[in-house]
Amino acid sequence: MANKVFADPRSALTGLTHDGMTVMSGGFGLCGIPENLIIALRQTGVQGITVISNNAGVDGWGLGLLLETKQIKKMISSYVGENKEFARQYLAGELELEFNPQGTLAERCRAGGAGIAGFYTKTGVGTLVAEGKETKLFNGETYVLETGLIADLAIVKAWKGDKEGNLIYRETARNFNPMMATAGKKCVAEVEILVETGELDPDAIHTPGIFVDRIVKGDFEKRIEQRTVRQRSTTTRENA
Amino acid sequence: MAWSREQLAQRAAKELRDGYYVNLGIGIPTLVANYIPAGMEVTLQSENGMLGMGPFPYEDEVDPDLINAGKQTITALAKTSYFSSADSFAMIRGGHIDLSILGAMEVSERGDLANWMVPGKMVKGMGGAMDLVAGVRKVVVVMEHNSKDGASKLLKTCTLPLTGVGVVDLAITDLGVFAIDKHGAAPMRLIECADGVSVEEIKAKTEAAFVAALG
Q: Which residue of B has its CA nearest to A181?
A: B84
Task: Point out the residue among B33, B49, B76 whose CB comes nearest to the CB of A174.
Answer: B49
Question: Which residues of chain B are within 8 Å of residue A175 when distances are taken between CB atoms?
Answer: 48-49, 84-85
Count of A–B CB contacts within 8 Å? 195
Query: pLDDT digit string (tens) for A138-180?
Result: 999 999 999 999 999 999 999 999 999 999 999 999 999 999 9
Per-residue pLDDT of chain B (215 residues; tens, 9 = 90+): 899 999 999 999 999 999 999 999 998 999 999 999 999 999 999 999 999 999 999 999 999 999 999 999 999 999 999 999 999 999 999 999 999 999 999 999 999 999 999 998 888 999 999 999 999 999 999 999 999 999 999 999 999 999 999 999 999 999 999 999 988 889 999 999 999 999 999 999 999 999 999 97
pLDDT of B122 reads: 85
A77, A128, A229 ranked by CB distance to B59: nearest: A229
Helical H runs in A143-218? 177-183
**Quick check: A239 and B58 CB within 8 A?**
no
Beta strand A49-52 pairing with A22-25:
parallel
> A224 and B73 in contact by Cβ < 8 A?
yes
CA dist., res. A194 & res. A148, Å (int): 31
Task: Please answer yes or no on whether A79 and B126 come within 8 Å at the CB atom.
Answer: yes
- Strands of chain B, DSSP E: 21-24, 43-46, 50-53, 76-82, 99-103, 106-108, 113-114, 138-143, 154-155, 170-173, 176-179, 189-193, 211-212
Residues of A (150-209) whose Cβ lies below 8 Å from B: 159, 169-179, 206
What pLDDT was estimated at residue A239?
47
For testing the chain A interface, which of B67, B79, B91, B133 should be mutated: the one with the most A CBs within 10 Å? B67
Q: Using an 8 Å Cβ cutoff, are B1 and B194 in contact? A: yes
Among the partner-chain residues B57, B63, B122, the one whose CB lies closest to the CB of A87 is B122
Q: Over the stretch B11-25, which tens digit does the pLDDT of each residue have?
A: 999 999 999 999 999
- B144 given a catalytic annotation: no
Report chain A residues whose CB lies below 8 A from the CB of B40.
none
Question: What secondary structure does DSSP assign to B30-54, as a single string?
Answer: HHGGGGPPTT---EEEETTTEEEE-
Does residue B14 sit at the A interface (CB-CB below 8 Å)? no
Query: Residue B163: which of A127, A176, A230 has the nearest Cβ?
Result: A127
**What is the arithmetic mean of pLDDT over A28-53?**
98
Distance from CA of A113 to the nearest CA of B (A): 12
CB-based contact B86 A81, cutoff 8 Å: no
B125 contacts chain A (CB < 8 A): yes
Q: How confident is the model at residue A240 (pLDDT cuts 50, 70, 90)?
A: very low
Alpha-carbon gap, residue A33 to A218, rounded angstroms: 12
pLDDT for A81 equals 80
Identify the active-site residue in B47, B109, B200, B201.
Answer: B47
